[in-house]
Structure 1
Amino acid sequence: MIMKNFFTILGGMGTLATESFIHVLNERTPIHSDQDYLNYLLVNHATVPDRTDFILGKTKDDPSLAIKEDIQQYSHFQPDFFVLTCNTAHHFFDKLQEETDIPILHMPRLAVEVVNQKFAKTSGKTRVGLLATEGTIQTKVYENELMKFDNLEVILPDATVQQEVTNLIYRDVKENHFCNEELFYQILQQMTEKYACDVIILGCTELSLVQEFTQNKKYPVVDAQSELADETIRRALRNREEPEKKAT
């Protein structure tokens, strides 16, 4: 029997974060039997060049070329949609979408929409802190989405806090497989108290991994990967119920 009503996950950027996404996806899928889980293909392309290093000019290896090839290759299987699990890779989103007629979910856009829905104030601006890689910050992947809403104000960390975020992502999670709970809470505390943020976007999947590990409920956050998982489940279940319709 040929697999139908499936999606393709473009992962491996990094692998631990992709594993976290899959765990959240499977855990939240409503199931009563094995057959209730979602159908998907996982592309764990771990050798895609580092997105931030390319954006910051530390390497000439363009990661978008590898992701484009993945999209071209897996579009032949005709998934209902693609899921791109790397925040920083959304800098190349428009170019990637041009490679296929199959929709790619836009993780930063989903997260910002949730911020506006759940945290927007009735008067005055909502101060939205952003924690992400230096590449995501520099390319304004989230800032551009946040600026679409007049009632949302973007709050970026200073150089000291950004270095702490970078250390947590690269030194702790990527290099040492260590969910540094103490540093994570220290960063969230600074963004909440020093910067008076009403909500903080976790705009990196390594931060999402730490969020999952710590189960933080003390500080108000919108976890982009979590929102992507929820939207993936919604679309996949809808396509299963209405197989003649593709995700749009």
Structure 2
Amino acid sequence: MALIGILGGMGPLATVDFMDKVVRLTTASRDQEHLPLLVANLPHIDDRSSAILDHGADPLPALLDGIDLLNRNGVGLIAIPCNSAHHWYAQMSAHSGAPVLHIAQTCVAAVPREARRVAVLATGGALVSGFYQQALADLDIEPMVPNAEMQPLVAACIREVKAGDLDAAGAHLQAVLGLLAEQGVSTALMACTEIPLAAARIAEPAVKLIDSTLELARATVKYACERGWNRAQ
């Protein structure tokens, strides 16, 4: 039986959101037509953004341990619903026997082709890492990084989701989107998997939002269903 491996816990709510999206995106009329998931929910992995920004504890050993755990159990694909962890994508991918999807590549692929300037809403660590900016630039799209007024609001949104206060997170995100709209930005990437949980609290976002969790889930389901993993053996 082919398994989808999920390296999660960064954070736990974001991991559950990813799993929910995988299930909802899978066309099935009975249990046996759903995709088998093996989830390593590992919330004690050291903070990724802190490691990138402030030379905090290195999360890579724990990330590689999680990759090993999934590979030992025979997964055929790994998805990591944490954007900041992709700072170490090259090391994780090289370490894994199973292919590892890249969340930024799946997310940026969903940007409308007519978009010429797109905001990247992410942790400070992911922004410094720059992989979203590079993925957009590769498509001749100008990446817009939140300014000193907006980024603290983005960080507060992420922090509130991790603390379980989704209403407060939504209020912070709504403020960010209003500022983006004032600057003429019409599209933003939710390049942190906490942010879509906050966006669910906003009835009418001021800009078009592209959900990195959803796009990773779509790529996961597509990969698995093309290989028949949704069919009981």
Structure 1 position 220 matched with structure 2 position 230: no
- Name the CA distance, whole Å, in 1 between partners of 2:45 and 2:213: 19
Deviation at 1:217, TM superposition (A): 5.5
Task: Using the aligned pairs only, state the percent identity.
Answer: 27
Structure 1 position 178 matched with structure 2 position 166: yes
* CA contact 1:5–1:239 (8 Å) conserved in 2: no
Pairing partner for 2:225 from 228, 237, 243: 237
- Name the CA distance, whole Å, in 1 between partners of 2:96 and 2:46: 22
Map of 2:132 onto structure 1: 142
- 2:31 maps to amino acid: D
- Name the CA distance, whole Å, in 2 between partners of 1:27 and 1:225: 13
Gaps of 5+ in 2: none
Structure 1 position 158 matched with structure 2 position 164: no
How many residue pairs match? The answer is 230
Map of 1:17 onto structure 2: 14
For the residue of structure 2 that corresponds to 1:98, the secondary structure is helix
- 2:17 maps to amino acid: S
For the residue of structure 2 that corresponds to 1:235, the secondary structure is helix
Q: 1:231 to 1:55 in 2, by over 3 A?
A: same
- 1:160 maps to amino acid: E
Structure 1 position 127 matched with structure 2 position 123: no
- Name the CA distance, whole Å, in 2 between partners of 1:112 and 1:145: 7
Gaps of 5+ in 1: 244-248
Aligned residue runs from structure 1 range 66-81, under 5 A: 66-81=62-77
- Name the CA distance, whole Å, in 2 between partners of 1:181 and 1:85: 20
* CA contact 1:126–1:198 (8 Å) conserved in 2: no
- Name the CA distance, whole Å, in 2 between partners of 1:50 and 1:114: 28
- Name the CA distance, whole Å, in 2 between partners of 1:213 and 1:185: 9
Cα RMSD after superposing both structures: 1.8
Structure 1 position 201 matched with structure 2 position 194: no
Deviation at 1:241, TM superposition (A): 6.3
For the residue of structure 1 that corresponds to 2:76, the secondary structure is coil
- 1:177 maps to amino acid: D
Pairing partner for 1:46 from 23, 43, 47: 43
For the residue of structure 1 that corresponds to 2:228, the secondary structure is helix
For the residue of structure 1 that corresponds to 2:4, the secondary structure is strand
- Name the CA distance, whole Å, in 1 between partners of 2:190 and 2:208: 10
* CA contact 1:208–1:223 (8 Å) conserved in 2: yes
- Name the CA distance, whole Å, in 2 between partners of 1:134 and 1:192: 21
TM-score, normalised with respect to structure 1? 0.87
